[in-house]
Amino acid sequence: MPGRIQNKVALITGAGSGIGLESSLLFASEGAHVLLVDLNLPAAEKAEQLIRERFPNVQAKSTKADVGKEEDVKNAVDLAVSTFGRLDVMFNNAGIMHPADDNALNTEEKIWDLTMQINLKGVWWGCKYAILAMRNNPTDEAKGLHTGGSIINTASFVALLGAATPQLAYTASKGAVLAMTRELAMVHAREGIRLNSICPGPLKTPLLMDFLDTAEKRDRRMVHLPMGRFGEAVEVAKGALFLASDESSYVTGTDFKVDGGLSSCYVTPI
Ligand code: NAD
């Protein structure tokens, strides 16, 4: 049985942990060749090794890049194309939530700028170089591969909902990811390049759990979660797989929520 993204080439940023790691494994299990990109090279290499052990029929390669540097993003896209011949799926997923990110009064400009550099400019550059690469994709009817592709940008539920536990720069960066992705989806709709945002709810990954380091902080959020639990990274990876695959061929410009109902909730069940 061919996989759901058989023979496609995917580049995933933040591939060493959380959503990126689970997506790398899931995409490989569904037949994609994967370039694993992370600032933390040993983590990306570990993920590459897991793919080699579990899914020997696909190719995987890892590389170090800081998505907050345009040259690094360009080089990573170039590497995907030179290694695998094309780029079908770009998952701009890497992001940071800085512990010193706070409200309008307390957030320092350097924290704001760092957050925007990685969470917003990194996604912009990822889109830019992916679009250029996807335009050049050769058509291979036998393998079901065509010009164009799917770009998935990780935003967040905080792009849709206000929280009285502020991380202002993070929230602003994720709102901008949503707006930017929608506009790019319109600009490139007739080129066969689809762009969608994915909005995860709060997850049990290091990004959030390192921050929610006391039961009190976790409980403050838990009461607002309709399903009574934090999400798992693999649950977001499954949403990303749908957006990466041709199953979502008529889906572009959407804010795809994988948030356990959080953004639809007024009162949670007891
Ligand atoms: P994570 O911390 O588990 O993994 C993030 C990965 O990104 C790490 O491997 C890290 O090394 C890498 N990374 C960080 N900065 C980088 C950079 N400048 N260049 C390249 N790689 C870099 O986080 P996660 O929870 O899997 O988060 C992934 C994405 O999901 C982020 O964009 C995050 O904002 C978003 N998100 C997370 C949650 C949550 O609750 N965890 C909720 C909504 C959205």
pLDDT, tens only, 194-203: 999 999 999 9
> What type of residue is 50?
L
Read off the pTM: 0.98
Give the Å distance between the CA of 8 and the centre of ligand 1: 23
Q: Count how many residues are written for the chain.
A: 270
Give the Å distance between the CA of 141 and the centre of ligand 1: 35
Return the active site residues. 170
Q: What does the pLDDT read at residue 167?
A: 97
* 53: pLDDT strictly greater than 90: yes
Q: Whose CA is nearest to atom 33 of ligand 1?
A: 95
Q: Which atom of ligand 1 is nearest to the CA of 170?
A: 34
The 10s digit of each residue's pLDDT in 193-250 is 999 999 999 999 988 998 899 999 999 999 999 999 999 999 999 999 999 999 999 9
Supply 182's token pair: 């929608």
Q: What is the mean pLDDT of residues 18-46?
A: 98
The DSSP letter of residue 203 is: B
Asked if ipTM goes beyond 0.95, one says: yes
CA-closest candidate to residue 95, choices 248, 219, 245, 199: 199
